[in-house]
Structure 1
Amino acid sequence: MSHDASPFAPQIRDYYTLSRDTLDKALASPDFVARTEAIARLWTERLAAGHKILICGNGGSAGDAQHIAGELLCRFRFDRAPLPALALTVDSSVITAIGNDYAYDQIFARQVLGLATPGDVVVGISTSGRSPNVVKALEAARTRGATTVAFTGEDPRDLGPLADFVLNAPSASTPLIQQVHMTAAHIICELVEATLFQPPGA
């Protein structure tokens, strides 16, 4: 059977087309590009000053939080010193204790209150812009003097007013929003790394 005869081929092509079109829409937006640069500059400035990046989200966005923290703490393009970044989604004992003793919507906020210091950056990822535990994390960050960043979909909703920087992917589709978030995050991590460290051969 040829590839073109596959019953899945049209659906596969449609999704790739949607992905491409969503990224093209982000690329065509001067505001989206400027927001990406502004977040890269913020992270670079704060990390250079000895502050840290704390990141949270649910489900796929939890995976994205861990992915981004890994790119910063480990490496992105080349070997260099680790950068202080922490995903607030990885400690099951902490998360279940807070969820059990307080409430699930406090699982990130309580960690922010215990870990964030003035000058740190707290990043909340929510494709809907209204995840209660992410909203409360940014509220807690403001009380700690941390700068807040929101990665959202086209409508920032509840997170927008709480974020000093908003990166709103131009889509209402959760998987497409997540793809834009990670593309933007990779760009940001690359810019941070290349600015703070000397790339090989430079």
Structure 2
Amino acid sequence: MHERITQHFSDSIDAKIRSADALPPVIAEAAEMMVQSLLSEGKVMACGNGGAAGDAQHFVSELLNRFDRERPALPALSLCADSMTMSSIANDSSFNDVYSKQIRALGQEGDILLVVSAHGNCPNMVKAIQAAHDRNINVVALTGKDGGDMSRLLHPEEVEIRVPDNNPHRIQEVHTLIIHCLCDLIDEMLFSGE
């Protein structure tokens, strides 16, 4: 058991080292995109499925409340936190529409949509990106593996932060670190002078 546990730590460290070599420029680009939206009175919406839904909610809670410093709340919305809305859409329409319907109703041009998926092939996430594009909302995608269908939908001005790993558990662990990096950079760009 000890060796299995140690191997999990080693694999996680290796994934983070590869990510540290590859991802800082795109993480910085994503943070700048989000800051520009926030400065222009936009908001950040976020969604994911399963553990990725937890990551999306985690990111939104850090923006709405605080990350490392006391500062004003930032406008953010988790599209996966309202179980009544999600189950209603899934029941009356399709689970594939649970995010796209919310984006079409709540999203405004100039907002940012953060989509989180280890493999990037979830039909409801694909439809979320399409809905964002219909509303002139830019997308930041947290992915892994080959980026999946989500990656192929992104416009050139949008940002994909693709973890260089194939194991969904390692990808999700790095996604948590990326979320913390984004929160830190957003706070630093908006509030470093305070």
User: What is the TM-score with the length of structure 1 in the denominator?
Assistant: 0.92
How far has the Cα of 1:161 moved from its partner? 2.2
Whether 1:20 and 2:13 are equivalent positions in the alignment is yes
d(CA) in 1 for partners of 2:182 and 2:3? 33
The residue that corresponds to 1:172 in the other structure is 166
Give the aligned CA root-mean-square deviation in angstroms: 1.1
Give per-residue Cα distances to partners, 1:38-87, cap 9 Å, x unaligned. Answer: 00111111111110000000000000000000011100011110001111
Alpha-carbon displacement from aligned partner over 1:104-130 (angstroms, at most 9, x marks no partner): 000000000001100100111111110
Paired positions, count: 191
Where in structure 2 are the equivalents of 1:36-115 lying within 5 Å? 36-115=27-106
Q: Is the 8 A contact 1:130 1:158 kept in 2?
A: yes
1:142 is aligned to 133
Give the superposition deviation at 1:175: 1.1
Residue 15 of structure 1 aligns to a residue whose secondary structure is helix
Where does residue 179 of structure 2 map in the other structure? 185
The TM-score, its normalising length taken from structure 2, stands at: 0.96
| d(CA) in 2 for partners of 1:27, 1:92 | 35
Q: Shift of the alpha carbon at 1:198? A: 3.7
Corresponding residue for residue 159 of structure 1: 150
The Cα offsets for residues 150-169 of structure 1, whole Å up to 9 and x where unpaired, read as 11113112001222210101
Q: Aligned-pair distance for 1:199?
A: 6.3
> Is 1:148–1:162's contact at 8 Å kept on the other side of the alignment?
no
Runs (4+) of structure 1 exceeding 3 A deviation are none
Give the counterpart letter for 2:46 in structure 1: I
Which has the greater radius of gyration? 1
Distance 1:61 1:157 in 2: 15
Structure 1: 5+ residue stretches without partners:
1-7
1:124–1:135 CA contact under 8 A, matched in 2: no
Name the aligned partner's letter for residue 25 of structure 1.
R
DSSP-derived class of the 2:140 partner:
strand
* CA–CA distance in structure 2, aligned partners of residues 45 and 102 of structure 1: 34
Bigger relative contact order (CA 8 A; separation at least 6): 2
Letter of the structure 2 residue corresponding to residue 124 of structure 1: V
Identity rate of aligned residues, in percent? 34
